[in-house]
Amino acid sequence: MKDVKIYSTPTCHFCHLAKDFLKEKGIAYTEYDVLADVEKRQEMFDKTGQMGVPVIMIDGQVIIGFDQPQISSLLGV
pLDDT in tens, 29-66: 999 999 999 999 999 999 999 999 999 999 999 999 99
What is the CATH number for 13? 3.40.30.10
In a domain, 77, yes or no: no
Phi, psi of 38 (to 5 degrees): -65, -40
The DSSP secondary-structure symbol of 34 reads: T
Provide the domain count of the chain: 1
Instruction: Phi first, then psi: give them for residue 59, nearest 5 degrees.
Output: 50, 45
Report the pLDDT value the prediction gives residue 1, as an integer from 0 to 100: 84
Segments forming the whole domain that contains residue 44: 4-71
Select from 14, 10, 1, 9 the least CA-distant residue to 63: 14
Within-domain flag for 76: no
Kindly list the strands in the beta sheet with 30-33, ordered across the sheet, starting from the edge strand earlier in the chain: 30-33, 4-8, 55-58, 61-64
What sign for the dihedral angle of Cα 70, 77, 4, 25? positive
